[in-house]
Amino acid sequence: MARDNEICRMDAVTLAAHIRQKRISPTEVVDAVLARMECLEPRIHAFCTPSPALARAEASRVEADIMAGRETGPLAGVPVSHKDLLLTKGVRTASGSLAYKDFVPEEDDVVVERMRAAGAVTIGKTNVPEFGYSPTGHNPVFETTRNPWNLALTPGGSSAGAAAAVASGVGPLATGSDGGGSVRIPAAFCGIYGFKPSMGRIPLYPGARDERYPGVSGWESLEHIGPITRTVADAALMMSVTAGPDMRDRHSLPKADFVWSECLKGAVRGKLIAYSANWGYAAVDPEVRRIVSSAVRVFERDLGCVVEEANPGWEDPLAAFFALMIAETDLKGMREMARTYKLSGHLHDALMTPWTAEDLTNANMVRKGVVRRMAQFMSSYELLLTPTLAVPPFPIHMQGPEKIDGRYVRTAEFLAFTFPINLTGQPAATVPAGWTAEGLPVGLQIVGRHLDDPAVLAASAAYEAAAPW
């Protein structure tokens, strides 16, 4: 048991090195992780479709390759879980919906395809809210995912199970997707690292692009695929095998002109950094403000940065974000689906809202304004720091708190800091900033300039070293 716990606490970089050097076998690793999954799943419910047989078969294949001296990938034998919105060939992809509860894809999403090619071992699919249209972890099909730090609270979403699994030691790597914060939200609520790379770094196909899969498709200009990990180095390792162009995604970026692992060594001393505590309008929990402000001081006191409090200057774009989300939804297909299947109440209401052409065109104009103001703002600053979320984790089966710091708010307003960075497509990460008096994690968001993923990873690594969690 002690050996199993030691394995489950290892990060992916360490595990990969030990496996490569034959200090630990892939089958020993997968057995330890699956034993931990079996122990914790009855309480946390991170996995909607565990795949132990597949994991053991893949681990045995990797082990045979290593013992025979055959070439293996950078992630050979490392356990990984995949978010249940990402298609996995031969493994159910239910997307948290009754409409897909028995759907087994015949192809992989690009990120899954590349992780498999790198030798990663698939341990299962992680739970999501229905089609990802929620920042929480409940759906009509599976048990509600719980926060490992307090089982009565949400882990956030929509990559709910992914973050809960990594935080609880059931695999060091998880794939997530982020259309409005869905990598950063659960990583912050679970006290781990979540990286949303620049839009297009990791290609999207087919799950977020294809009209063959109503509900699974959509959000083409908002969605980012990214890693959820316990260390910054693990996120860089995952990026090194998943980033790069693919002709099936017209938004995918050319191969990066930098080495992902080298980004961690980037200098941050002397950088001019903006800190926005509330965008100038958002309600923020006082304890979150205090914890994040303390984390920001680390950049000045310990890392030698120059930090200025400043706001980009836009008005709250939440209504525009919701309209853009609907504009990128297969509205006809999903409305037909809603007539056949009982969808989650918040999703049904969004689909059946009588959206007008003016709603959607106005939303696009708001987005252009946010992009323009952010570009002007970031021309003066190399990085931007904010809280990741406006509140600590809240009880399960809620969409969000109705009151923050004494103000009544829309339930989605606790996401005030995440979704604008999907409107702009910039790279962003959440790092653990500290703990509330009740022992709940709070995240600090680090945002980089357009396409400057290296700066975000460098700042994340520097902060991780200065304030290890």
Range of the domain at 382: 2-466
> Per-residue pLDDT tens for 449-459?
999 999 999 99
pLDDT under 70: residue ranges of the chain = 1, 208-211, 215-218
> Per-residue pLDDT tens for 186-213?
999 999 999 999 999 999 998 755 667 7
**Number of independent structural domains in the chain:** 1
Q: Which two tokens stand for residue 6?
A: 């030691």
We report the CATH number of the domain holding residue 176 as 3.90.1300.10
Q: How many CB atoms lie within 10 A of CB 459?
A: 27
Q: How many CB atoms lie within 10 A of CB 381?
A: 20
Quick check: 104 and 91 in contact, CB under 8 A? yes
User: Model pTM?
Assistant: 0.97
Alpha-carbon distances, residue 169 vs 10, 33, 164 (angstroms):
9, 8, 9
Which positions are catalytic? 83, 158, 182
Q: What is the pLDDT of residue 209?
A: 55
Q: What is the pLDDT of residue 206?
A: 87
Angle at CA of residue 137, ends 468 and 166, nearest 5°: 35
